Structure 1
């Protein structure tokens, strides 16, 4: 064997981050939630009222998943009636940047296909 030859080990996909992206894109409402948060709509009731077809049950599942991933932060205020708000975390900002890059890549792919 030549001294300059290298043996490479099979490279695997980044398991946790790939699963997170898949889970977020698999949730039909996550991208809508991010859009709402970007427009200062951060309370669940307000989100449901602003999006046709979005139910409280589905929204709560979506928000819970995003909090578990560390993308969103949940703030519960000690008030009556109870008030809950969601905000994007610093990690979430990084993650949303990656989603924006994926969207730009898809736009580029779509543009390339229209020129065929």
Structure 2
């Protein structure tokens, strides 16, 4: 299906072949759900994200950031300096998603005990 044809289709994630499922896969990934909220307060460098997210490998962080960048949720800024200096920041679209993820995080924190004992 061509891009112009996809734009004419109303997204329905309950339909198996709907392209919206790929978006759900990207934003529902555990690493995406951890990276995005860390960028709410401003840009972070790769090494800082790596320190803040215990258990994520450099390879997985790089893949996650690239995928979020492809979907215009995160912007990569290369300062063109030597040694290289690059940071990552939320786009306006990413910021709107971060607000939703923040609500999910708050729900998990609020209900953690009940979920743990279920």
Partner of 1:85: 87
**Which structure's CA Rg is the greater one?**
1
Partner of 1:28: 30
TM-superposed CA distance for 1:78, in Å, is 1.1
TM-score between the two structures when normalised by the length of structure 1:
0.66
- Alpha-carbon distance change, 50 to 41 in structure 1, aligned in 2, over 3 angstroms: farther
Give the aligned length.
97
Partner of 2:39: 37
The runs of 5 or more residues in structure 1 that have no matched partner are 1-10
- Of the three residues 35, 45, 54, the one matched with 2:56 is 54
The whole-number CA distance in structure 2 between the counterparts of 1:51 and 1:18 is: 26
Aligned-partner SS, 2:25? helix
- Alpha-carbon distance change, 22 to 84 in structure 1, aligned in 2, over 3 angstroms: same
C-alpha RMSD over aligned residues: 2.8
Partner of 1:13: 12
The runs of 5 or more residues in structure 2 that have no matched partner are 1-9
Cα displacement string for residues 42-98 of structure 1 (whole angstroms, at most 9, x for unaligned residues): 111111122221111100000000000010111011111101111111122233345
Q: Which has the higher contact order (CA 8 A, sep 6+)?
A: 2
Check whether the contact 1:41–1:47 (CA below 8 A) recurs between aligned residues. no
